[in-house]
Chain A
Amino acid sequence: MIIAEQKSFDEIAKMAANFDKVLLLGCNECVTVCLAGGEKEVGVLAASLRLLRKQGDRPLTTLEETITRQCEWEYLDQIEKLAEEADCIISMACGVGVQFVAERFPDKWVIPALNTKSAGGSVQHGVWEERCGLCGECILYKTGGVCPVARCSKRILNGPCGGSQNGKCEVKDVDCIWDQIYKRMAALGRMDWLMEIELEKDWSKARDGGPRKLVREDVMISE
């Protein structure tokens, strides 16, 4: 899933300072799971903004809604009337959701309430770790299902580097992922696979190649 974190309250309040009626829009997918932009977080942010503005002479009216997914037109269609009522929309989704909302409601100012962090998962309650680097060409079959692109600080494809000490990375306080790959391949009896030299990766398939677009004609609905 996509992992996101709420921006500081001060930042959100400043972005919304010139509006009197805002729609706080949550998303029931990834950001609900990472406790950043679900129904509950919408309620807390809406109440916080109201509490701040009630102290002044410009109180804020909030509309609250959480939809199944902000990154799909059909769910955004459902909030058309609600969006019309509001001066602006505070999107509590990832960057994808924010852009879909802005595109669907072109006459509305859209404020992002979250910072989108990474693609990963929850390893324990309250802790989320990055797992996928979205490189566009998966090599997990070569590394025992452990990703060096997302989880090695240096993105080394033939690791570990000289900075791996006692299973720890020299760059950040994380496990050396090549140490993990080594241990996993040893446990699976596939150490010989690691002897193969991985050649340079084609980064044009990653974000480095520009914005990516996927088209599948087989699932397109013809008019």
Chain B
Amino acid sequence: MSDFQPKIVAFCCYYCAYSAADLAGSMRLQYPPTVRMIEQPCSGRIDIRLILQAFEDGADGVYVAGCLEGDCHFLKGNYRAKLRVAQAKKILNDVGIGGDRVEMYNLSGSMGPRFAEIAHEMHERIKKLGPSPLNCKAQSGPPEQKAGPIAAGQQ
């Protein structure tokens, strides 16, 4: 598994994380190429469906990076994103993907080094967790996939 290179999707707020990534670049800071950034107008744009879609489309990990709490350009977007990420974690645990594969981070536009640190942190975490169960071809069956009494009587 040591050669496993995860696919990580980072939903980044335009006002902080995206600028921080820009700064990290200007500062010539290195961070893993496994992180694919998607610019968002605000972390509050994040919808649970977007997070789930990223996993469906092959992501091994997803993180949302928004402004520091209290500093959202749209006032409350990052607080909303935090709640949605928490709900996404619950759903991912329910479906057997694992809630640890999604995370919420807060930073400001001036925190270029922190951006690189977060990318490293998430890269290491997903590398440790291994590929998403969807990307594991060897998986024999979905977790707890048993027919209930009602469904068993059908078909």
- Residue pairs across A and B with CB atoms within 8 Å: the count is 85
In the assembled complex, B97 has its CB within 8 A of some CB on chain A: yes
- A-side contacts of B152, CB under 8 Å: 18
The distance in angstroms between the C-alpha atoms of A55 and B96, with both chains bound, is: 9
In the assembled complex, B53 has its CB within 8 A of some CB on chain A: yes
Q: Is the interface of A mostly helix, strand, loop or mixed?
A: helix
Q: How far is the CB of A118 from chain B (nearest CB, A)?
A: 23
In the assembled complex, A173 has its CB within 8 A of some CB on chain B: no
For residues 33 through 88 of chain A, which have their beta carbon under 8 Å from a beta carbon of chain B? 40, 43-44, 47-58, 87-88
- B-side contacts of A87, CB under 8 Å: 155
The distance in angstroms between the C-alpha atoms of A48 and B99, with both chains bound, is: 13
The distance in angstroms between the C-alpha atoms of A202 and B72, with both chains bound, is: 56
The distance in angstroms between the C-alpha atoms of A19 and B55, with both chains bound, is: 23
Report yes or no: A44 in contact with B145, Cβ–Cβ below 8 A.
Answer: no
- A-side contacts of B141, CB under 8 Å: 55-57
Choice from B91, B146, B151 contacting A19 with Cβ under 8 Å: B151
Q: How far is the CB of A5 from chain B (nearest CB, A)?
A: 14
Q: What is the interface residue range for chain B against chain A? A: 20 to 34
Report yes or no: B155 in contact with A48, Cβ–Cβ below 8 A.
Answer: no
**Given A10-B94, A52-B96, A55-B142, residue A47 in contact with residue B148 (CB < 8 A):** no
Q: What is the interface residue range for chain A against chain B? A: 20 to 34
Choice from B52, B94, B133, B150 contacting A15 with Cβ under 8 Å: B150
Report yes or no: B49 in contact with A47, Cβ–Cβ below 8 A.
Answer: yes
- A-side contacts of B150, CB under 8 Å: 15, 111
In the assembled complex, A181 has its CB within 8 A of some CB on chain B: no
Report yes or no: A11 in contact with B96, Cβ–Cβ below 8 A.
Answer: no
In the assembled complex, B147 has its CB within 8 A of some CB on chain A: yes
Choice from A9, A11, A18, A56 contacting B142 with Cβ under 8 Å: A56
The distance in angstroms between the C-alpha atoms of A50 and B55, with both chains bound, is: 11
| CB<8 Å pairs between A and B, sample of 30 | A9-B91, A9-B95, A10-B144, A13-B145, A14-B146, A14-B148, A15-B150, A17-B147, A17-B148, A17-B151, A18-B147, A18-B151, A47-B49, A47-B53, A48-B52, A48-B94, A48-B95, A49-B95, A50-B56, A51-B55, A51-B95, A52-B95, A52-B96, A53-B145, A54-B142, A55-B139, A56-B139, A56-B142, A57-B140, A58-B142
Q: Which residues of B contact A (CB under 8 A)?
A: 47-49, 52-53, 55-56, 91-92, 94-97, 133-134, 139-148, 150-152, 154-155
List the 10 shortest-distance A-B pairs measured between CB atoms, nearest first: A14-B148, A56-B142, A47-B52, A9-B94, A55-B142, A56-B141, A17-B147, A52-B95, A18-B151, A51-B95
Besides A52-B96, A55-B143, 4 other CB < 8 A contacts?
A16-B151, A40-B49, A52-B145, A55-B133
